[in-house]
Every structure is written in structure tokens, then in C-alpha cells.
Structure 1
């Protein structure tokens, strides 16, 4: 399933994306609040990407600029059991594209897909408490901070707290005036 926003194209990740994903995952700035860690080799990245592609409970997209098709990041939706009608989203962007509204635009596109196409009830996201940029993205996209999980994220050998965010379908409809 391909998604698009005003400036972005989100396409399902394939094996052809492994080199750019490896480069993204190897950036110290993008790893600062990530539990995955910097991959030791492209073989590690290949294993991660193959896992995503084979996991029926999640969709992972490569994010490119609409006009140039330049790779700028990743986004994903991990589905809960169907009876919960919910999913968790995550995203990761090349540092050169931070602060330009692309992450917020991608999250808004994921929310539109979740609520308008999939008819989900709830979408969640989390971020390390020190990841102020990601918290702002989630809040600008209309998600509400619901709580804090203590020492749940293993980041570079330390345990970090995590803020939990969510938006309900009714919140989304109200924000969109629908």
C-alpha cells in the first residue's frame, strides 16, 4: 500500500532499500533515542529489513520526497490483535530533514490511513522522554500524551523512560472537522 502526502511518498520497504536504510540506521544522531542501535554491518540491516517484510502484523514504508524521490526516512505501523482495532506507529528521519515538518506530515499521513482507510479505533506512539523533537511531532499531529513508562527502553546500555502518546478515531474526526 503506497501512501502520499503533499510533499512525501511512502512506499512499502523492499530489499532494494537496504543500502539507504543501513545509512540511516548508521547515523549517530538518528540512533540517539533508538533501541535498535547502530548496525554492525549491512548484513544486520538486511536481517532487520527482512524481518519487517515478513511480519504480517506491521507495515513499514520508505519515505521519499515527492518531487525528487530522494530517500529521507522510514515510517511503520505495527498492528495489535484485530479485536483492539489499533496500531502503534514509529518513524525515523535522516538528520538533514529534521525541523522541516516532514515527520509531522508523515505522521499525519499515517493517521489518515489508519482512521480513514483502515477504520482503526486507536493509534499509539512512544518516544524516549528526552526526545523532545519526537514528542513535538506527535503533539503537532494531534496525539495526546497519556503517560510515562519507567525504564522501558534499552538505549546504549541504559534504561530510559518512555512517553506514551495516542489518538482515538473520535479525536481525529473532531480535529479534522469530520
Structure 2
């Protein structure tokens, strides 16, 4: 696979590398970013390394089915967070997105900007028909991000997320290739 990037005015999404381990470990270790995440806080760097090594290996395949991007601030090259796009069965032309943003970058539009860029990549480059996302019902920040990017709430799964405070319902969102995209 040749290296590629997704660029916007403020961010660069690039495939993660082992050199991102320290930044990813810090991100995964923040209690505030773990609140609505099922991954849990890693005990040490080795645990984080074991989590990301398969992601890095997947990114090196000639036909990637599970993209994991580092989000970088283009002005200072600082690590902002992670963004994933997991492709489903080719017949259905469907992908699922996820993201985890460092709390220093919350409420600054970086998550929405990243999501819009990945939606465009999914539809324009990968020729997907549908992109989906799930979100814990209490995660107001992510709900706003998904809706600002033009995703539509389709339903609610009951008690599907095992979060540290107990089982949580999950909102299901999607956007179709035929939907109007919110690019600004």
C-alpha cells in the first residue's frame, strides 16, 4: 500500500504507525476520553502496543478493510486523536466510522472536520453507499459531531455498550452517498 493522507484546512489524517504509540497511549489513558469507550484504559504501553499493532498491520495491506488514521494538526503537527473506518462486506458498500479525540481538542471542530473528510473519502474514493456510526446516548459531544456532519439518527440499540458505569443504550447514525453532504 502506498502511503496516503486526507487533508483539510486544519488537519491531516494519515495511517497510524508504531511511532504514534506514545501519543495513542496518552489518548487511551485519559479518563475523559474513556467515559463512553468500551476499550478501557490500558494498564501500560505494552497493552496499547498490542491493541494498535493489528491496526498498523491492517493499514499495510494492499486492500485495506479497516483504516486507522492519526489526526494531526497541520499547523503544528500535534497529535489530535484517532479516526477509524471499518469496511463491511464489499457487496453492501458500507463502512462504519469511529473516532477518539484528545480532550485538549474538544469543542474546536476537529472531530466534525475529521468526520466530514472521512465521509468524503468513503464516498468519493472508496465508492461506499452507506457510512454508519454508533454513539452512546449520553455522549452529547459525539451526537453533535455526527449530526453536524450530516449523519441521520436511525435508531436506538438498548443496553448494548458495556461502559464502566454500566450498560448503555447506543444511537445508530448513518449517511448515504445520495444524502446532501455538509462540507463547511
Q: Report TM bin, short chain.
A: over 0.9
2:40 paired with 1:61: no
The alignment partner of 1:72 has SS state of strand
How far apart in 1 are the matches of 2:95 and 2:116?
14
Structure-to-structure mapping, 1:77-92, within 5 angstroms: 77-92=85-100
Residue among 158, 161, 164 paired with 1:150: 158
Q: Which residue pairs with 2:35 in the alignment?
A: 32
Q: Which residue pairs with 1:76 in the alignment?
A: 84
The answer for unaligned runs of 5 or more in structure 1 is none
How far apart in 2 are the matches of 1:70 and 1:97?
10
Structure-to-structure mapping, 1:3-14, within 5 angstroms: 3-14=6-17
Q: Which residue pairs with 1:114 in the alignment?
A: 122
Residue among 147, 150, 155 paired with 1:139: 147
Cα RMSD for the two superposed structures: 1.3
Mark the CA change 1:47 to 1:3 in structure 2 (over 3 Å): closer, same or farther.
same
The alignment partner of 2:128 has SS state of coil
| Alpha-carbon shift at residue 2 of structure 1 (Å) | 1.1
The answer for unaligned runs of 5 or more in structure 2 is 59-63
- Higher mean displacement: 52-61 or 41-50: 52-61
Residue among 93, 103, 128 paired with 2:136: 128
Q: Which residue pairs with 1:101 in the alignment?
A: 109
| Alpha-carbon shift at residue 77 of structure 1 (Å) | 0.1
How far apart in 1 are the matches of 2:65 and 2:39?
19
2:54 paired with 1:51: yes
After superposition, give the CA deviation of every residue in 1:17-68 in whole Å (9 maximum; x if it has no partner).
0110000000000000000000011111001101212334200000010111
- Higher mean displacement: 132-141 or 50-59: 50-59
| Alpha-carbon shift at residue 88 of structure 1 (Å) | 0.2
Q: TM-score scaled by structure 2?
A: 0.92
